[in-house]
Amino acid sequence: MAFEPEFLDSALAAISSAGTLAELDRVRVHWLGRQGILSEAFRQLATLSGAERSAAGQGLNRARDAIEEAIRKRRESLESDDVQRQLARKRVDVTLPGRGVLPGALHPLTQARLLIENHFQGSGFTIATGPEIEDDFHNFTALNMGPDHPARAAHDTFYLDPGSILLRTHTSPVQVRALRRWGPPLRIMAPGRVYRRDSDLTHTPMFHQVEGLVVDREISWAEMTGLLSDFLHAFFTEGLKIRFRPSYFPFTEPSAEVDLECFFCAQKGCRVCKQSGWIEVLGCGLVHPEVFRQSGVDPGEWSGLAFGMGIERLAMLKYRIGDIRWFYDNDLRFLTPRPAASGS
Ligand SMILES: [Zn+2]
């Protein structure tokens, strides 16, 4: 059987209608493959006589060349379509507005903590840490709050194991741990999370405190008032009036609470200062001899001062934040850069 010319027409038709490279490859195998129609036609040449075979052979060679050429052209055209399609898919519209980059800022609580830390580090304090899951001894007993001490009731403690393991209610246990670990002299501050069962406008079950402790020979009340006045003037506003009001804490003796003149109303009386003209900002005192004894330090030889403050409280006053719970609401505005508020 000779290769019929109409075969060539249908081969060329199949090639030009191949819509994808895969389809074109199937057409190629069908016509030019080892089991393909052309190969079969070449094998049939053997059955022809001399003159016929020569003419048919030349016809087949021309047909094969024509098919190969048609496939090559079709492949080039399909490949370039493919590239065009990919380019179209990845086209960038340069006229669209840019996405913009939103600048962020440290959370106000972090800003306040860093301001406090930096100030006291400048006065020679180092940062100490302790566990948030504490035992009764470090959280209460060693701080002069024995098992029946009434001050324990005010702490609204979260107990993990009643009477022994708890979430620390203040950062003061770090004082005890630091004294027992390093001994005097000592100048440390301990920032960290503390936990109490409280929740309202000014209380959350978790909040942050910074504890400060200085232990040395002959630490005086005057040294403490100087240290804390310097800090408050640096953190809020230079020149604000400060008063030390006698108070009571089990772990200091004498003890004081520190008030700042109300800079919201210039002491005329407002909601923030509860009409008193003064804002309470921290607690302090000279370390109680019993705390020294529980920490293995001789109170006859050493003396110390301690102070503690709530970071939320200070940040609320400095940045004029009205509700403590806003700190934890994940409101993006809290992470927006802004000029630091001044206290006046
Ligand atoms: Zn006021």
Q: Give backbone dihedrals phi and psi of 69, rounded to 5 degrees, phi first.
A: -65, -45
Q: What is the mean pLDDT of the chain?
A: 90
Question: 281 C-alpha to center of ligand 1: Å?
Answer: 13
Averaged over 117-139, what is the pLDDT? 96
Question: 279 C-alpha to center of ligand 1: Å?
Answer: 7
Whether the Cβ atoms of residue 252 and residue 290 lie closer than 8 Å to each other: no
Distances (CA, A) of 47 to 30, 52, 298: 23, 10, 121
Return the pLDDT at 149.
Answer: 85
Beta pairing, strands 126-127 & 186-195: parallel
Is residue 290 pLDDT above 70, yes or no? yes
pLDDT level of residue 337 (50, 70, 90 thresholds) = confident
Is residue 1 pLDDT above 50, yes or no? no
Sorted by sequence, the CB contacts under 8 Å of residue 47 that are 6+ apart come out as 1
Question: 286 C-alpha to center of ligand 1: Å?
Answer: 29
Is residue 216 pLDDT above 70, yes or no? yes
Return the pLDDT at 5.
Answer: 58
Q: Any idea which of 98-102, 128-132, 231-235, 263-267 has the lowest mean pLDDT?
A: 98-102
Averaged over 118-125, what is the pLDDT? 96
pLDDT tens digits, one per residue of 268-285: 999 889 999 999 999 999
End-to-end CA separation in angstroms for the chain: 108
pLDDT tens digits, one per residue of 309-327: 999 999 999 998 888 889 9
Question: 277 C-alpha to center of ligand 1: Å?
Answer: 5
Residue showing tokens 């210039």:
266
Question: 331 C-alpha to center of ligand 1: Å?
Answer: 27
Is residue 342 pLDDT above 60, yes or no? no
Q: How far apart are CA 205 and CA 193, in angstroms?
A: 10
Give start and end residues of each alpha helix (H) in the chain.
5-17, 21-32, 37-44, 50-89, 108-122, 136-139, 173-182, 221-235, 289-294, 311-319
What SS3 state is found at 289? helix
Question: 15 C-alpha to center of ligand 1: Å?
Answer: 90
Whole-prediction pTM? 0.69
Q: Which of 31, 35, 45 is nearest to 2 (CA)?
A: 45
Question: 261 C-alpha to center of ligand 1: Å?
Answer: 8
Question: 17 C-alpha to center of ligand 1: Å?
Answer: 87
Return the pLDDT at 343.
Answer: 43
Q: Which of 191, 167, 207 is nearest to 325 (CA)?
A: 207
